Structure 1
Amino acid sequence: MKNCFHKEKKEDEAVYLRRKITLLRAITMTISSIIGSGIFISPKGVLKNSGTVGMSLLVWFACGILSMFGALSYAELGITFTKSGGIYIFLKETLGALPSFLYLWSEFIVTGPANRAVIILAFAHYLLEHFLAPCAAPALAVKLVALLAFYVTVALNCWSVSWSARLMNFLSFTKLTALALIIVPGMMVLSKGQFENFQDAFDSSSLTFDRLPLAFFAGMFAYSGWGQAVYFREELVNPRRTILLTVIVSLVIVTAGYILTNISYYTVLTVEEILTSDAVAVTFADHISKWLAPVIQILVVLSCFGTLNGGLFAGARETFVASREGQWPSLFSMIHIRRHTPLPAVLLRAPLVMLLVFSGDLYNLLNFFSFSRWLFVALAVTGLIVHRYRHPEVPRPFKLPLFIPVIFIIICLGSVAMSLYSAPGNCSIGAAIILTGVPVYYLLIYRPIPPRCRALFNDLTFKLQILLEVVSQEICTY
């Protein structure tokens, strides 16, 4: 049952999230979200754990195919269900309210804020390193610049959907430019017959099959972000067509770009140089030209900024939909009366990120929860299969062969099992904190709030509405 708040208003005067994201914008936003700092800074993780140049290239290709499987599974779910929200809405519609709330809880408490904090710290570190080299950037300066960058993206997402999308278009172009600046020189060197680093590409003495799963984890991290379009499904122009084309086009471009980029790395750099570099793209650029290294470094900075903006844009929609579904305070399902942006949902992302930026153990904190995302992704795609069998009567304009989601689920669960095996302490702590959402759900969501508390809560919500100039959406968009 649709729970939108209706008014007799002309559509152009009503408050709701407009369909402003075209196919081109959806593709560029997805590409911008996928291409983060990973491909530029540390592809050595794939090489180190795969053992050889040839096997590492196969891993990059396999990760691209696996990402396509996951993205196509998301596309079927996103076309079947007409609401925004991504994983959250998929879990709620297929597996029920509790799994969806636990995902929402984990994303809100630590996983989402920690991811954003890591990204903005990387942004600030590489930006200041560029301008202060050879001196090290002061830790406090890195944190302050990181927060400044984050609040710029918050302000932009509060101000305008169109301008956020335009920024993503520009940053997507800069990321592809960065890949081109690596691919073109590398191919030129390769065309001159420099094949030395590809000799014995599959040397059996260097293969490390027992560590191959770790190579896949590193590769899949670089591809993360492929499900971006389903998080703002209600703002897409012609969503059924746009979601499917966005998935296919963006992942074909990114997979081809990643493989060609790695071929360029291996053409110019030796295995030893890659394994000892903390920023492979910068090391590569130093070998090509003196002017190329600072350019690549700035493009890596912009790449981090684009990933941050894309994550904030999608995460705010997730909170917005959860609030509209009754699993989060109603204030966060409201929209600014003039800007038509989910302003409260965007602002909600700020305090915890600020707190984590100044925490001293951020990267370990993020490791506690790295396994949880794969678990929830696996559950979401499992929900696709469950929903097919429970509701065969539901129209499915796009339907995948069953082996695609099954393979993806097996790989995801394998990564979860590997995380539990390799770091049982961290994973146990992460799981325990996620499970704290269970009592929250049963005390505040499952059972009705007492009337007196509800009256106080409604009064606070009303006052914040006036302060923020927000109201519930007035036209159903799903």
Structure 2
Amino acid sequence: MGETSLRKRGEDEKSIQSNEPKTTSLQKEVGLVSGICIIVGTIIGSGIFISPKSVLSNTETVGPCLIIWAACGILATLGALCFAELGTMITKSGGEYPYLMEAFGPIPAYLFSWTSLMVMKPSSFAIICLSFSEYVCAPFYSGCKPPETVVKCLAAAAIMLITTVNALSVRLSSYVQNFFTAAKLVIVAIIIISGLILLAQGNTKNFENSFEGTKLSVGTISLAFYNGLWAYDGWNQLNYITEELKDPFRNLPRAIVIGIPLVTVCYILMNIAYFTVMTPTELLQSQAVAVTFGDRVLYPASWVVPLFVAFSTIGAANGTCFTAGRLIYVAGREGHMLKVLSYISVRRLTPAPAIIFYGIIATIYIIPGDINSLVNYFSFAAWLFYGMTILGLIVMRFTKKDLERPIKVPIFIPILVTLISVFLVLAPIISRPAWEYLYCVLFILSGLIFYFLFVYYKFGWAQKISKPVTMYLQMLMEVVPPEKETE
């Protein structure tokens, strides 16, 4: 009787063990709703609430301004559909990185990861958290500008909190994203509904002769697109977490088709709402358009606007951290970053080292007094790599015909998006040459130095330094390589 019970107990333990995951890897925990929330939550940040005047300053009149906002939404949707084909054809996390690797080889992929990891992603994360900090500090410093030290310390605390949440749990970070996305949609709905009511009441004066006096050039159109597309940035974020998406062949395109048009409609209606209470001149003079709108329409409850803008920015920062951490993870896995950055937390099953590294770099970007010059040229670098990635899609139609394509967009879409990318990259340089564009290109190419020193040739002295560091960090953070058998 004793032997039978022991045998049965042993069999039960084996069956329990067989149901547990045998490998340490990223888990598929992001469903369709969470995917839509990541897209919407990452795109809608501080931009639409604070600076739609950037588009207006280049178009000068209301009509072309609204057309640019709609065109940016269409371009983001077309680009995201191209990325949907890439994401279901190459089911690896990391966004553009694995696509460039497959289409053009390691050097373009490395240059993308170098530029993204060292400038684009962390500076964007830092700017979003600084925006959040300024809105939170504003009520405590009424009538004057909050001290810079206080703003930066609070922004650093926000980065630390978001990094911790994302390192602890994929599910927790998804819940946080869903909550803040819901919160920001509340303020979006308040502004849109208020605007529609004012429109119905006859506040249409600013829409009369909305194209009169328009003076557009190639340069102003491209710069207007730059500013509009900055507000839409994040349309490709779901491709960074393909390996964690449930049923990606269905949920990736669905989330794109639902999420980005939803954002586009919201952006157009919010701009219409702004113009119901502000003339173009007044909008250009406003420091924070949504706050000005709230003061004029929602008083005495205008405090709701800065509160929900803070929610919006922290939600965008969380979505950015969630996706950028996966890019670092994939770059480490491919040997283009420190190997420890590709390790997975044994307990949490998250790419904790990559997320923590990202948070540290973003915190460093908070220290300088002004990094707006980097952000101003974000779109230049971003669309350079977007264009290369979608060109890679066209190239792989001929060089990788054997790859399975669950989603296949008509070929004219990637061709159109590639041509628009070329226009967006070259037009500002031709119309308004500036040294900053050259600095941006030189920084991108400087990644080649690190590539040949540490990746291609793998000098022995570099290996001697990296191995003990990797081993120490592995023990400290309790992380292991992906797909490693658990003990």
Q: Same fold (TM over 0.5)?
A: yes
Which of 68, 74, 77 is the equivalent residue of 2:83? Answer: 74
Distance 1:164 1:472 in 2: 22
1:62 deviates by 0.9
Q: Which has the larger radius of gyration?
A: 2
Q: Which amino acid aligns with 1:52?
A: T
Matches within 5 A, 1:60-459: 60-203=69-212, 205-210=213-218, 211-421=220-430, 422-450=432-460, 453-459=462-468
Change in 2 beyond 3 A, CA 1:28/1:409: same
Q: Which amino acid aligns with 1:244?
A: P
Q: Which amino acid aligns with 1:126?
A: Y
Distance 1:400 1:185 in 2: 38
- Cα RMSD of the aligned pairs, angstroms, is 1.7
TM-score in terms of structure 1 length: 0.94
CA contact (8 A) 1:35 1:303 kept: yes
| Cα distance per residue 1:206-229 (max 9 Å; x no partner) | 343442222222111111101111
Q: What is the DSSP-based 3-state SS (H/G/I as helix, E as strand, rest coil) of the residue aligned with 1:225?
A: coil
Match of 2:58 in 1: 49
Q: Which amino acid aligns with 1:392?
A: K
1:456 deviates by 4.6
**Unaligned stretches of 5+ in structure 1?**
1-7
| Cα distance per residue 1:383-418 (max 9 Å; x no partner) | 000111112222211111111111111111211113
Distance 2:259 2:45 in 1: 14
Distance 1:375 1:438 in 2: 17
Distance 2:366 2:429 in 1: 27
| Cα distance per residue 1:255-297 (max 9 Å; x no partner) | 1111111111112222221111111111111111213421111
1:92 deviates by 0.7
Distance 2:127 2:164 in 1: 19
CA contact (8 A) 1:79 1:398 kept: yes
1:369 deviates by 4.7
Distance 1:289 1:370 in 2: 34
Distance 2:146 2:261 in 1: 38
1:106 deviates by 1.1
| Cα distance per residue 1:122-145 (max 9 Å; x no partner) | 111111013321232001101101
Change in 2 beyond 3 A, CA 1:35/1:241: same
Q: Which amino acid aligns with 2:82?
A: S
1:459 deviates by 2.8
1:111 deviates by 2.2
Percent identity between matched residues is: 37
State the aligned residue count.
467
Distance 2:35 2:249 in 1: 12
1:53 deviates by 1.2
Change in 2 beyond 3 A, CA 1:426/1:9: farther
CA contact (8 A) 2:230 2:379 kept: no
Distance 1:69 1:61 in 2: 12
Q: Which amino acid aligns with 1:438?
A: L
| Cα distance per residue 1:55-111 (max 9 Å; x no partner) | 211111111111111110111100100111101111111111000001111122222
Q: What is the DSSP-based 3-state SS (H/G/I as helix, E as strand, rest coil) of the residue aligned with 1:21?
A: coil
| Cα distance per residue 1:283-315 (max 9 Å; x no partner) | 111111213421111111111111111111111
Distance 1:272 1:369 in 2: 27
